[in-house]
């Protein structure tokens, strides 16, 4: 929908996506340090504003350079939000001695995010049919700005246990150093979160498995809902080391069947995957030193790792489709295996 009637070639679209990915990778850790040194709530506010400007650029300048500007702004906005949100939520809970509630809250956030994909997709389609991309774009600008207004109301507990006069680069280096002792948790988040890149191929799976094009949206609409179910269960059940391994086996089974009904198995895989993702993200937040002033930076280190590992997911898809991705999931499951 973003590139509808843009006149851009496939090569230009590929370059634009590369610009977006590169911007996100380069800005990820530095933006985490900004959140730690200055304000995590401020980063969330700025994230919404930058992404609003990205949509505006796409609407006002529907050309290659307009899209390039928008993707740079979008990448910067996403980097500012990444790390800052998790750190702010954890700090707010820690301020009241409720750190143990992070897994439940993280599960709720993940659940709502996935469920929201369904009505958002319906509304976006309706807006596009009524007023084309300009209408959908300007409504998106308004929603991004509204998210910044909401973020302004987030509480932000004071953080003064460290050196209040430490500079930005000192904060950045502190975060990088603190990621080393807990590297196992950082690597686990990077590996597991990277798997989410496979979600982009769900519609292609439906088409490859002989779902009529007209029915592809309806055939895949249940997948984020099953993912939401898995995320919700993560707030109630403990993680077992075999869950991600089971997810990989289910995905491989679905790929071998390669029929429309196999999408149900893809949904089961996605639910199991989101269950594990909530738990590894929570484990990382618990492993970060409670007295650190660089929580967002450490979280961003894991995020940048996931951006890099995501290329392995893309490569697996190119080389062997869903079967290869399932094998990659099995490998990642073995790497992060934590017997209980």
* Domains of the chain with CATH codes: 10-154+167-335 (1.20.1250.20)
Q: What is the reported pLDDT for 83?
A: 87
Q: What is the reported pLDDT for 340?
A: 45
Integer Cα distance of 196 and 187 in angstroms: 15
What is the residue-level pLDDT of the chain in tens, covering all 340 positions? 555 555 677 677 767 877 887 888 889 888 988 988 889 999 999 999 999 999 999 999 988 899 899 999 999 999 999 889 999 999 999 988 898 999 999 999 999 999 988 888 788 778 878 888 788 889 999 999 999 999 999 998 876 554 555 677 787 888 888 888 999 999 999 999 999 989 988 988 998 899 987 788 788 889 999 999 999 999 899 888 799 999 999 999 999 999 999 999 999 999 999 999 999 999 999 999 887 888 999 999 998 889 888 888 988 998 999 999 999 999 999 998 864 4
Integer Cα distance of 150 and 144 in angstroms: 10
Integer Cα distance of 159 and 84 in angstroms: 14
Integer Cα distance of 1 and 4 in angstroms: 5
Integer Cα distance of 248 and 167 in angstroms: 44
Integer Cα distance of 4 and 301 in angstroms: 35
Eight-class DSSP state of 199:
G
Integer Cα distance of 260 and 187 in angstroms: 35
Q: What is the reported pLDDT for 149?
A: 97
Q: What is the reported pLDDT for 146?
A: 96
| Neighbouring C-beta atoms of residue 319, cutoff 10 Å | 11
**Helices H, strands E: what count in the chain?**
13, 0
Mutual angle of helices 222-234 and 262-287, in 10-degree steps: 40
Residues 66 and 58: beta-carbon distance below 8 Å: yes
Integer Cα distance of 28 and 259 in angstroms: 39
Mutual angle of helices 102-152 and 84-95, in 10-degree steps: 110
């Amino acid at each position: 929908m973003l590139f509808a009637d843009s006149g851009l070639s496939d090569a230009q679209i590929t370059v634009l996506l590369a610009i977006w990915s590169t911007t996100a990778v380069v800005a990820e850790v530095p933006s985490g340090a900004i959140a730690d040194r200055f304000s995590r709530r401020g980063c969330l506010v700025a994230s919404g504003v930058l992404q609003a400007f990205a949509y505006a650029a796409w609407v006002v300048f529907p050309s290659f350079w307009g899209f390039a500007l928008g993707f740079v702004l979008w990448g910067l906005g996403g980097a500012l939000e990444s790390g800052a949100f998790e750190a702010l939520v954890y700090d707010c809970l820690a301020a009241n001695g409720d750190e143990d509630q992070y897994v439940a809250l993280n599960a709720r956030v993940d659940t709502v995010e996935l469920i929201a994909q369904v009505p958002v997709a319906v509304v976006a389609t309706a807006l596009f049919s009524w007023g084309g991309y300009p209408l959908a774009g300007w409504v998106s600008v308004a929603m991004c700005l509204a998210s910044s207004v909401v973020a302004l109301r987030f509480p932000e507990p004071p953080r003064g246990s460290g050196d209040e006069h430490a500079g930005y680069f000192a904060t950045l280096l502190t975060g990088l150093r603190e990621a080393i002792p807990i590297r196992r948790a950082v690597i686990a988040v990077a590996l597991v979160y990277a798997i989410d890149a496979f979600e982009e191929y769900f519609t292609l799976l439906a088409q490859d498995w002989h779902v009529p094009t007209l029915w592809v949206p309806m055939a895949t609409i249940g997948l984020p809902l099953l993912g939401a179910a898995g995320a919700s269960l993560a707030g109630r059940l403990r993680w077992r080391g075999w869950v991600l391994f089971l997810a990989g086996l289910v995905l491989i089974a679905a790929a071998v069947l390669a029929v429309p009904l196999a999408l149900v198995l893809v949904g089961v895989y996605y639910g199991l995957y989101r269950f594990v993702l909530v738990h590894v993200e929570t484990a990382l937040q618990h492993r970060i030193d409670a007295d650190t002033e660089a929580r967002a930076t450490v979280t961003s280190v894991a995020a940048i790792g996931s951006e890099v590992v995501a290329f392995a997911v893309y490569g697996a898809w190119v080389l062997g489709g869903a079967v290869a991705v399932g094998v990659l999931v099995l490998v990642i499951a073995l790497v992060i295996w934590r017997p209980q």
